[in-house]
Amino acid sequence: MDWGGRMGAPKFAMPSNYAYLLRYYKRTQNINVGSYIKTTLKRMAFGGIHDIIGGGFARYSVDAYWKVPHFEKMLYDNAQLMSIYSQAYQLTKRPLYKNVVEKMANWYNKEMTASSGGLYSSLDADSEGIEGKFYCWTYDELVTILGEDASFFFDVYNIEKGGNFEHDLNVLFRTKDHEYFMEKYQISNEVFQQKLNTIHSILLEKRNLKIRPATDDKILTEWNALAIKGLCDAYKAFSQKHYLEKAENITHFILKNCKKDDYRLDRNYKNNTSSINGFLPDYAFFIEALISMYQITLNEFYLQEALHFNEYVMAHFYNQENGMFYITSDIDTKLITRCIDSSDNVIPAANSAMAKSLLLLGKYFDNVEYEKISWTMLNNVLNEAQKNPAFYSNWAIVLDMHLHLNTELVVMGENALESLKQIQTNYLPNVLIAGSTKESKMPLTEGRYISNKTLFYVCHNKTCELPETDFHNILQKFG
């Protein structure tokens, strides 16, 4: 419990585990679960696994303390962790979580964004033949750069003269909270944070002069879809337009470059060309991303696109015999057997993502058959999930949604988005958001638009109360 995450080493971030535990904590207020989440997210943010200077997380820690990472930075880890830290901020309003997300977004913009608008896959661990050299510092170079601020920085980040890593290098690894340093140096929290921010900016400027790790510049539909979802969650939490704009840019990059006329997706984009017929994760996570885009924009285009991609998956990946989805399409080269993956790992299983989206699309389009398929999929894995729940956490979210996603909030009117933006700063995992800024024919919105009015419909299993016009009453219900 002191370090969070899983016991032992190596230590990987497991975002879908944390996503489920956040939902569980919201519903139960279980103190132990809340403490575990808080500890894990803080230790990761303080650890060497987090690039406090440039933003983003490394792939895993080689030790049990999040201290020394394998310095490779993967888009899929960061995409999901943006969601987790954003949701945790919605729940707690802790500034640390906001800071983590802001730094990650800056890293996306400065190091991971292609001119086409998509996000690159990863950054290598090595530079100049030494793992971590780009991210680490010798004692002497920090003294030279920071001067009289060096001793303060050494104290905060556990810098040692002979290095706290190999090759006399130091990983930036924090173990103490800001209160400790406020008392020790007799400074306010504002002064402490400002001092650190100034030093971080200086070090970033110096680090940018170093030889950089290589970039894996392929753009994968699957990982970019995860990034869209993370950016949508960040927009919900912080209401900052740049998160929405980034999510829109990546979404339209995929629709322009990787989508074909029949809703087939290509998996890879590189050198201005898309290639490799998409696998199930490409579709599953992009469908989920499109649903998230609808929830923050109320633009039904995204929901309709999600439906069309879902129909393509049903036609080309669905196994009628067991109700699950194959990893490969039926138009791919025939294999001896077509695999079905169901266990969640560092990236959730595409089948669990499909089960989640089928449930949501079933509710949005009043399609009972989709909801039944989602239930069937869940029942298929229930025995394994009970034996090894840590590897079925996204399935646990699906179960939680089936049991508790029974409230719909429908926001209608020309000013619906402004109201929705304020509502969604709160963590509402079991509230289905719908609405429109104009007339709409969707099942939850049809006949509910009235010009020059903003109306809020609170519904339970699609049975709605009388419309509410007082925004503050809605905030009290969902705030």
- 3-state helix/strand/coil string of 149-189: HHHHHHHHHCCCCCCCCCCCCECCCCCCCHHHHHHHHCCCH
| Predicted pLDDT at 372 | 98
CATH match of 219-404 with 1.50.10.20: yes
354 vs 287: CA distance, rounded Å: 8
| pLDDT tens, position by position, 119-143 | 999 999 999 999 999 999 999 999 9
Domain borders along the chain are 11-216, 219-404, 406-479
Is beta strand 407-412 parallel, antiparallel or unpaired with respect to 431-436? parallel
> What six digits make up the tokens of 82?
């943006």
Q: How much is the pTM?
A: 0.97
Q: Write down the pLDDT at residue 336.
A: 58
- What is the predicted pLDDT for the residue at 76? 98
- What is the tens place of the pLDDT at every residue in 361-381? 999 999 999 999 999 999 999
469 vs 236: CA distance, rounded Å: 22
Residue 106's pLDDT is 98
Those residues with Cβ within 8 angstroms of residue 371's Cβ, 6 or more apart along the chain or in another chain: 358, 359, 362, 363
Query: What per-residue confidence (pLDDT) applies to 356?
Result: 98
Strands 60-61 and 11-12: antiparallel
Q: Which pair of structure tokens corresponds to residue 412?
A: 């209608």
Q: Tens-of-pLDDT digits for all 479 residues of the chain?
A: 689 999 899 999 999 999 999 999 999 999 999 999 999 999 999 999 999 999 999 999 999 999 999 999 999 999 999 999 999 999 999 999 999 999 999 999 999 999 999 999 999 999 999 999 999 999 999 999 999 999 999 999 999 999 999 999 999 999 999 999 999 999 999 999 999 999 999 999 999 999 999 999 999 999 999 999 999 999 999 999 999 999 999 999 999 999 999 999 999 999 999 999 999 999 999 999 999 999 999 999 999 999 999 999 999 999 999 999 999 999 987 765 778 889 999 999 999 999 999 999 999 999 999 999 999 999 999 999 999 999 999 999 999 999 999 999 999 999 999 999 999 999 999 999 999 999 999 999 999 999 999 999 999 887 888 999 988 889 888 86
Angle at CA 189, nearest 5°, toward 184 and 192?
65
CATH 3.30.160 matches 406-479 = no
- Which residue's entry shows tokens 């190091």? 111
The structure tokens 């089948």 sit at 351
pLDDT of residue 164: 95
DSSP state of 462: T
Residue 278 Ramachandran class (φ > 0 left, ψ -120 to 50 alpha, else beta) = beta
What's residue 190's pLDDT?
95
Rounded to whole angstroms, the Cα distance separating 381 from 392 reads: 8
